[in-house]
């Protein structure tokens, strides 16, 4: 940071270095804004192991082929945030939670919801206002206390009321949680809310030890206690997290490892090197550059799972006052005229982009619903063809002079910049002059929320229920409607889909939403990422599901 | 002496306050805030408001500053916004790692640098000098990041000699601790080794042409004694000064090295806190660094004044 100056023979001798230290750190921070590794938009992409579009989730460990014991080291690309299911917001904390905090429901490899701490899917009342959940019996928390309906009630209420809770919006319009007996939970809603079961298959459905909650309060993350195959052991700030086998776990015979250490290694190449050297046995978020070499290594496997999210371009239509404030349309052709946005969408050759930038490993996306989702339909997967001539015609019809200059902000990580440059070259043919402004991730979020952009490239990691992938982004009152888009028709379709208990009806409604979104184009969907995880063949039973969470709890070292 | 001491102490306090204000204002001048960085893609206006309220980020800057200073004065550096851990214990855990890494890097750099410098001076104009110069040039120009990656690829992956990442505390297993730190210390010490080599070479060349060396040779001393006992010993004074001056560069180099080898050190803590806009951690890190600088400078100045009374007199003036 700063260099220590020789002692000076004047009064300012100690002022300079100390101020230098302060200025040094700020300078570092400013430099940092140009080279952030934080949650990039396109940091991980395909692999070469399976054919394009083919998922490799990994298989469960064969108990006859794995030995008991050993510590698994997982190289993680980012540091998880608070280890408190109520307050946690990062994907990476979910990797750790899955080993020590089981949920009422989980996700299967087919992206379908399955019971975990519950024994069956919820029974929903005819009016959709009551969900009855039967609980597994004989489950103990890591502190030895019993998991019952009261613990579930306390955990859900905590999610609804704790200051800074990240679960509140996921839990929806819950009016009360009732516990008719220790093995049954009844959730009462003020209005029907179909996405609730999916939310209970994530952090909102994790059950915390009431004793630990009472003891630690908002500092639960300092020594989290849940029910799971492993329990929290230690954490070294910004560096590592360790969990150890919990002998009290109800299915302890399935647990082979003694401990799992999550080691934070932000650089993708170094994660791969750690995998090859044997210092780590699992590494997440591999890059396209590293995946092929791991693939050709006989000692490695690359797991692939297509994301339920998307990467795309958001156009600022009416976000002049910042998200959450009253909408005020921008006075630019691309904000005012849907034809200009359609022209931009038609100028993008998604197939070519995926092929040239991501070696055909990611997949084309033209809407918010993944083809892997059980809510996908033909209408949801319609994709307007690449047609630069029509794009030019639309620009002419809209009375826009070409080349039409549009400025795009994008995350400054190498993958995003490569994507932006390819787009820049591509949309030229359609009559656009794309100017790229790379920005560090935290600054990008800031600009996005303030509405300080014309066009921005960013994605969404995806959730199981389509509502969580659409409503917040294009609903008029959506918490992340950074485009400032407002369509009464789309709002109605989304609200109906949200409140419908009929899956077929929801599929149809989401199909109609996609059709309407492709006419208005507030968000141009481009591609879907593939989560890539490198796994050493010394370990068996590592699995990755469409929710992007790496399952390590039931893995074991090969005999 | 008493007046001098008081005046120097007063300056130190003023400096610390100024440094605190600069960093407090500086981190808040960055775009985005901890709430945005923490919420990431899951943010919504209500959560952001709740986070800002929870950590007092919606208070006025004056209130926030007072909170920080008044708590720090009581030894409470707050809790990390991202992980909820006490910042004091985060720093206490990270500092020993960086200190040990720096000491090892200086050792590595001194052995390589002095050795190569002596060879270059004694074998002037011969291939040994060219090789030493080439090594120094490489050491100065190759970035630590690339060097670290190459070391991992060849020494860890291909040969399996050293671990590619991780850390074991010295007191839990000294051998394992050193095994984990060999590569990081080697990489961190490379740049410093180059500087030491060039300085040793030039000091040695000066020394070798000095009269006392000619006298020593005339007395019939062996070349080894002339170089080792007379020339090198005199050259090392300048080299030691240079090592002291490079300490700052070493600590900033540790930032990169710690990230490459996933070492839980002070540099990694600082950089990650900046990326995550973790205000309490950034502020505490700077406060601790500034305090360390001030205390060291104060001690050195006082020591100088003890050695040389003229400084004390000037300070009193």
**Structure token digits, residue A230:** 């492993």
Chain B interface mutation, best of A11, A21, A172, highest count of B Cβ atoms under 10 Å: A21
Q: From chain A, pick out residues whose CB is under 8 angstroms from the CB of B32.
A: 442-443, 445-446
C-alpha dihedral sign at A443, A449, A454, A455: positive
- Nearest-by-Cβ selection for A82 from B84, B164, B244: B84
- Of the candidates A229, A211, A290, the one whose C-alpha atom is nearest the C-alpha of residue A97 is A229
- Of the candidates A481, A161, A444, the one whose C-alpha atom is nearest the C-alpha of residue A319 is A481
Q: How many CA atoms lie within 13 A of B3 on its CB side?
A: 7
Q: What is the 3-state secondary structure (H, E, C) of A182-238?
A: CCEEEEEECCCCCCHHHHCCCHHHECECHHHHHHHHHHHHHCCCECCCEEEEEEECC
| Same structural domain, A515 and A417 | yes
| Same structural domain, A289 and A318 | no
Q: Is B79 part of any domain? A: no
Residue that finishes a domain, picked among A227, A262, A285: A227
Which residue pairs from A112-118 have beta carbons closer than 8 angstroms and sit at least 24 positions apart in sequence? A112/A374, A113/A197, A113/A198, A113/A201, A113/A464, A116/A201, A116/A205, A117/A147, A117/A205, A117/A207, A117/A227
| Same structural domain, A393 and A322 | yes
| Same structural domain, B271 and B141 | yes
Q: Is A333 part of any domain? A: yes
The four Cα atoms A532, A104, A207, A249 give a dihedral, to 10 degrees, of -80
| Same structural domain, A443 and A338 | yes
| Same structural domain, B48 and B183 | no
| Same structural domain, B118 and B202 | yes
Q: Is A214 part of any domain? A: yes
| Same structural domain, A218 and A233 | no
Residues 196-255 of B with CB under 8 A from A: 244-249, 251-252, 255
Average per-residue pLDDT for chain B: 83
Please tell me if residue B43 touches chain A, with a CB cutoff of 8 Å: yes
Q: Contact B32/A235, CB-based, under 8 Å?
A: no
pLDDT tens-place string over residues B260-304: 888 888 888 888 888 888 889 998 988 888 888 788 778 877 777
pLDDT tens-place string over residues B96-118: 998 899 889 989 998 998 888 88
* Separation between Cα atoms, residue A383 and residue A420, nearest integer Å: 21
Q: Is B290 part of any domain? A: yes
Residue of B nearest to A450 (CA): B32
Q: Is A26 part of any domain? A: no
Q: Is A18 part of any domain? A: no
Give pLDDT, residue A131.
94
Within 10 Å of residue A188's Cβ, how many Cβ atoms? 14
- Nearest-by-Cβ selection for B300 from A7, A266, A273: A7
Whole-angstrom CA distances from A528 to A306, A310, A348, A366, A464 are 7, 5, 15, 9, 14
Higher per-residue confidence, A229 vs B155: A229
| Same structural domain, B25 and B133 | no
| Same structural domain, B312 and B164 | yes
Give pLDDT, residue B291.
85
Q: From chain A, pick out residues whose CB is under 8 angstroms from the CB of B31.
A: 33, 440, 442-443, 446-447
**Structure token digits, residue B208:** 């070798």
| Same structural domain, B190 and B60 | no
Cα-atom radius of gyration of chain B, to the nearest Å?
25
pTM of the model: 0.77
* Separation between Cα atoms, residue A360 and residue A349, nearest integer Å: 13
| Same structural domain, A403 and A343 | yes
Q: How many CA atoms lie within 13 A of A193 on its CB side?
A: 21
Q: How confident is the model at residue B142 (pLDDT cuts 50, 70, 90)?
A: confident
Give pLDDT, residue A428.
95
Give pLDDT, residue A530.
84
Label residues A402-417 b or e (16+ Cβ within 10 Å = b). Answer: eebebebbbbbbebbb
Give pLDDT, residue A74.
96
Give pLDDT, residue A6.
31
| Same structural domain, B23 and B166 | no
Which uninterrupted H or E stretch holds A292?
helix A291-295
- Nearest-by-Cβ selection for B38 from A81, A168, A236: A81
Residue of B nearest to A6 (CA): B245
Whole-angstrom CA distances from A209 to A98, A136, A206, A437, B227 are 15, 15, 10, 47, 71
> What is the total count of domains within chain A?
3
Backbone phi, then psi, for B163, in 5-degree steps? Answer: -70, 145
User: What single string gives the DSSP state of each residue in A338-371?
Assistant: HHHHHHHHHH--HHHHHHHHHTT-SEE-SSSS-T
Give pLDDT, residue A1.
31
What ipTM did this prediction achieve? 0.72
Please tell me if residue B309 touches chain A, with a CB cutoff of 8 Å: no
- Of the candidates A170, A181, A174, the one whose C-alpha atom is nearest the C-alpha of residue A103 is A170
Domain residue limits at B31: 16-73
Q: Contact A238/B272, CB-based, under 8 Å?
A: yes
Q: Do B286 and B278 touch, CB atoms closer than 8 A?
A: no
Size of interface A-B (CB pairs under 8 A): 261
| Same structural domain, B123 and B40 | no
Cis peptide before A403 (omega within 30 of 0): yes
Q: How confident is the model at residue B314 (pLDDT cuts 50, 70, 90)?
A: low
| Same structural domain, B49 and B158 | no
3-class secondary-structure state, position A52: coil
pLDDT in tens, chain A (559 residues): 333 323 333 333 333 444 444 444 444 433 333 333 223 333 333 333 444 457 888 888 899 999 999 999 999 988 888 899 998 887 788 999 999 999 999 988 777 899 999 999 999 999 989 999 999 999 999 999 999 999 999 999 999 999 878 888 889 899 999 999 999 999 999 998 888 999 999 999 999 999 999 999 988 999 999 999 999 999 987 789 999 999 999 999 999 999 999 999 888 888 988 998 899 999 998 877 677 778 888 899 999 888 888 999 999 999 999 888 899 999 999 999 999 999 999 999 999 998 888 877 788 999 999 988 889 999 999 999 999 999 999 999 999 998 999 999 998 877 788 899 999 999 999 999 999 999 888 788 888 888 999 999 988 888 888 998 999 899 998 888 999 999 999 999 999 998 888 899 999 999 999 999 999 999 999 999 888 899 999 999 999 887 778 999 999 999 8
User: What single string gives the DSSP state of each residue in B74-141?
Assistant: TT---B-TTT--BHHHHHHHHHHHHHHHHHHHHHHHHHHHHHHHHHHHHTTTSHHHHHHHHHHHHHHH
pLDDT tens-place string over residues B1-17: 678 788 888 888 898 88
- Of the candidates A401, A127, A495, A64, the one whose C-alpha atom is nearest the C-alpha of residue A256 is A64
Higher per-residue confidence, A21 vs B81: B81
Give pLDDT, residue A37.
29
Q: Do B84 and A84 touch, CB atoms closer than 8 A?
A: yes
Chain A interface mutation, best of B18, B19, B155, B255, highest count of A Cβ atoms under 10 Å: B19
Give pLDDT, residue B74.
85
Q: Do A116 and A98 touch, CB atoms closer than 8 A?
A: no
Q: Is B3 part of any domain? A: no
What CATH number does the domain containing B225 carry?
1.10.3720.10
| Same structural domain, A294 and A389 | no
Cα of first residue to Cα of last residue in chain B, in angstroms, is 12
Q: From chain A, pick out residues whose CB is under 8 angstroms from the CB of B252.
A: 1-2, 24
Q: Contact A274/B32, CB-based, under 8 Å?
A: no
Q: CA angle A342-A348-A354, nearest 5°?
A: 140
Residue of A nearest to B313 (CA): A9
Burial of residue A121 (number of CB atoms within 10 Å: 0-12, 13-18, 19+): middle
| Same structural domain, A196 and A208 | yes
| Same structural domain, A290 and A275 | yes
Q: Contact B160/A277, CB-based, under 8 Å?
A: yes
| Same structural domain, A292 and A251 | yes
| Same structural domain, A441 and A372 | yes
Q: Is A96 part of any domain? A: no
Q: Is B211 part of any domain? A: yes
DSSP B237: H
Q: CA angle A54-A59-A63, nearest 5°?
A: 170
Q: Is B9 part of any domain? A: no
Residue of A nearest to B264 (CA): A239
Backbone phi, then psi, for A382, in 5-degree steps? Answer: -60, 140
- Of the candidates A101, A96, A441, A238, the one whose C-alpha atom is nearest the C-alpha of residue B80 is A238
Give pLDDT, residue B1.
67
Rounded to 10°, the helix B279-307/B266-275 angle is 140
- Of the candidates B196, B85, B207, B155, the one whose C-alpha atom is nearest the C-alpha of residue A234 is B85
Domain residue limits at A115: 102-227
Whole-angstrom CA distances from B89 to A496, B54, B84, B98, B281 are 51, 21, 11, 15, 11
Q: From chain A, pick out residues whose CB is under 8 angstroms from the CB of B97.
A: none
Q: Contact B297/A7, CB-based, under 8 Å?
A: yes
| Same structural domain, A449 and A518 | yes
Q: Is B296 part of any domain? A: yes
| Same structural domain, B56 and B173 | no
Q: Is B293 part of any domain? A: yes
| Same structural domain, B56 and B130 | no
Q: Is B1 part of any domain? A: no
What CATH number does the domain containing A438 carry?
3.10.105.10
What CATH number does the domain containing A186 carry?
3.90.76.10
| Same structural domain, B208 and B167 | yes
> What is the total count of domains within chain B?
2
C-alpha dihedral sign at A24, A26, A27, A31: positive
């Amino acid at each position: 940071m700063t260099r220590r100056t020789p002692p000076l023979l004047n009064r300012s001798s100690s002022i300079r270095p100390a101020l230098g230290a302060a200025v040094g750190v700020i300078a570092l921070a400013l430099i940092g804004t140009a080279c952030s590794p934080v949650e990039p938009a396109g940091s991980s992409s395909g692999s070469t192991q399976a054919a394009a579009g083919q998922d490799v989730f990994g298989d469960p460990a064969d108990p006859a082929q794995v030995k008991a014991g050993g510590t698994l080291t997982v190289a993680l690309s980012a540091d998880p945030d608070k280890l408190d299911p109520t307050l946690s917001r990062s994907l990476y904390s979910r990797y750790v939670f899955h080993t020590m905090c089981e949920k009422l429901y989980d996700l299967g490899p087919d992206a379908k919801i399955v019971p975990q701490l519950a024994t069956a899917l919820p029974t929903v009342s005819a009016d959709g206002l009551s969900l009855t959940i039967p609980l597994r019996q004989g489950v103990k928390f890591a502190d030895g206390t019993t998991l019952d309906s009261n613990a579930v009630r306390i955990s859900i209420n905590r999610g609804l009321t704790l200051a800074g809770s990240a679960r509140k919006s996921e839990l929806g319009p819950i009016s009360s949680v009732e516990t008719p007996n220790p093995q049954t939970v009844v959730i009462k809603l003020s209005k029907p809310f179909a996405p609730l079961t999916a939310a209970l298959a994530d952090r909102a459905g994790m059950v915390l030890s009431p004793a630990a909650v009472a003891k630690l309060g908002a500092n639960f993350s300092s020594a989290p206690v849940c029910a799971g195959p492993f329990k929290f052991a230690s954490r070294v700030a910004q560096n590592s997290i360790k969990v150890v086998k919990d002998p009290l776990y109800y299915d302890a015979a399935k647990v082979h490892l003694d401990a799992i250490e999550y080691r934070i290694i932000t650089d993708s190449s170094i994660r791969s090197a750690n995998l090859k050297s044997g210092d780590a046995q699992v590494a997440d978020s591999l890059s396209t550059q590293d995946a092929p070499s791991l693939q050709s290594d006989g000692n490695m496997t690359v797991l692939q799972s297509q994301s339920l999210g998307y990467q795309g371009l958001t156009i600022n239509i009416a976000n002049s006052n910042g998200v959450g404030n009253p909408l005020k349309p921008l006075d630019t052709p691309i904000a005012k005229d849907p034809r200009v946005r359609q022209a931009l969408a038609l100028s993008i050759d998604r197939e070519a982009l995926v092929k040239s930038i991501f070696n055909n490993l990611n997949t084309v996306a033209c809407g918010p619903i993944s083809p892997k989702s059980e809510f996908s339909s033909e209408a949801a997967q319609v994709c307007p063809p690449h047609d630069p001539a029509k794009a030019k015609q639309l620009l002419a019809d809209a009375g826009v002079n070409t080349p039409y200059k549009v400025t795009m902000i994008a995350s400054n990580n190498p993958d995003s910049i490569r994507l932006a440059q390819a787009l820049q070259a591509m949309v030229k043919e359609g009559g656009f002059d794309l100017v790229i402004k790379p920005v560090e991730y935290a600054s990008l979020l800031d600009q996005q929320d303030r509405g300080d952009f014309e066009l921005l490239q960013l994605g969404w990691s995806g959730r199981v229920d389509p509502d969580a992938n659409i409503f917040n982004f294009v609903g008029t009152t959506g918490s992340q409607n950074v485009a400032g888009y407002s369509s009464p028709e789309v709002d109605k379709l989304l609200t109906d889909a949200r409140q419908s208990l009929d899956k077929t009806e929801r599929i149809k409604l989401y199909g109609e939403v996609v059709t309407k979104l492709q006419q208005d184009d507030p968000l141009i969907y481009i591609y879907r990422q593939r989560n890539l995880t490198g796994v050493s063949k010394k370990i068996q039973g590592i699995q990755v599901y469409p929710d992007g969470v790496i399952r390590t709890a039931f893995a074991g070292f090969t005999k | 002496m008493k007046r001098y001491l008081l005046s120097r102490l007063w300056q130190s306090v003023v400096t610390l306050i100024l440094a605190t204000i600069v960093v407090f204002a500086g981190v808040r001048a960055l775009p985005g805030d901890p709430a945005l960085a923490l919420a990431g893609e899951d943010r919504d206006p209500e959560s952001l408001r709740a986070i800002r309220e929870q950590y007092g980020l919606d208070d006025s800057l004056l209130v926030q500053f007072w909170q920080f200073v008044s708590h720090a004065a009581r030894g409470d550096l707050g809790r990390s916004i991202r992980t909820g851990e006490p910042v004091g214990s985060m720093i206490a855990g990270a500092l020993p790692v960086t200190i040990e890494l720096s000491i090892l890097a200086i050792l590595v750099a001194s052995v390589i640098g002095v050795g190569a410098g002596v060879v270059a001076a004694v074998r002037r104009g011969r291939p040994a000098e060219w090789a030493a110069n080439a090594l120094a040039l490489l050491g100065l120009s190759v970035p630590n990041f690339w060097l670290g990656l190459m070391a991992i690829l060849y020494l860890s992956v291909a040969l399996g000699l050293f671990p590619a990442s991780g850390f074991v505390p010295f007191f839990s297993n000294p051998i394992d601790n050193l095994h984990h730190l060999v590569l990081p210390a080697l990489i961190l010490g490379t740049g410093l080794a180059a500087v030491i080599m060039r300085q040793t070479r030039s000091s040695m060349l000066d020394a070798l042409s000095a009269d006392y060396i000619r006298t020593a040779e005339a007395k019939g001393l062996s070349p080894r004694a002339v170089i080792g006992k007379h020339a090198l010993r005199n050259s090392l004074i300048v080299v030691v000064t240079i090592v002291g001056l490079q300490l700052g560069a070493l600590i900033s180099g540790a930032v990169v090295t710690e990230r490459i080898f996933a070492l839980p050190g002070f540099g990694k803590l600082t950089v990650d806190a900046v990326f995550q806009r973790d205000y309490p951690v950034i502020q505490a890190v700077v406060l601790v660094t500034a305090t360390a600088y001030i205390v060291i400078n104060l001690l050195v100045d006082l020591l100088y004044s003890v050695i040389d009374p003229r400084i004390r007199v000037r300070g009193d003036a």
